[in-house]
Copies of this chain bind each other. A is one copy, B any other.
């Protein structure tokens, strides 16, 4: 608004910032790592993020949430064709997590004691994902309680697929597991039961 250039650059640093956090976690990411990854000196970093590392992570979380909102959540909620929306979600998820070799930063954050400052956005992310997927399933004729249950299984399954495929170093496992969940979900909406 007033200057117009500062905000642009701050948001331009977010992808690199997110990637460092994904590789090293919150505790494992140092400001020197961030400085190298973003190409910004500490002075610039604290100019963009006066709250330091915690504000950087908060900005990254908001950025991730905005991306998922546009690419995953909203399309699910407004899906005219539930089965197609589910297939589209799985395609987006597979690409986003790079077949499981890219970590889910939000899920990771929830694991440690460092989640305390971020507990609310972490919880909101997963609650929203489950609600959006359940809404899509209901749109496909699935009863509410079963829709929520299926959505919970799929969202948890995706997180587990990331953990497992990373641990095994096997991105094939991620793709296989995603396909299984897609089959189970689309099977429910086409009323195959």
- Tell whether A123 pairs with B169 under 8 Å between CB atoms, given A160-B156, A177-B153, A177-B156: yes
Chain A positions 104 through 141: 1 when the CB is less than 8 Å from some CB of chain B, otherwise 0: 10111011111100010011011100000000000000
B168 close to A127 (CB less than 8 A): yes
CB distance from A35 to the nearest CB of B (A): 17
Taking CB atoms and an 8 Å cut-off, the chain A residues in 24-81 that contact chain B are 24-25, 27-28
A126 close to B160 (CB less than 8 A): no
Q: Please, which residues of chain B bring their CB within 8 A of the CB of A12?
A: none
A113 close to B23 (CB less than 8 A): yes
Picked from B24, B113, B155, B180, the residue with its CB within 8 Å of the CB of A153 is B180
Q: Please, which residues of chain B bring their CB within 8 A of the CB of A169?
A: 119, 123
- Identify 18 residue pairs between A and B in the complex whose beta-carbon atoms are under 8 Å apart, listed by A's number: A23-B112, A106-B167, A107-B167, A108-B112, A119-B169, A123-B168, A125-B167, A126-B164, A126-B168, A152-B164, A152-B173, A152-B177, A153-B180, A155-B160, A156-B161, A156-B177, A158-B160, A159-B163
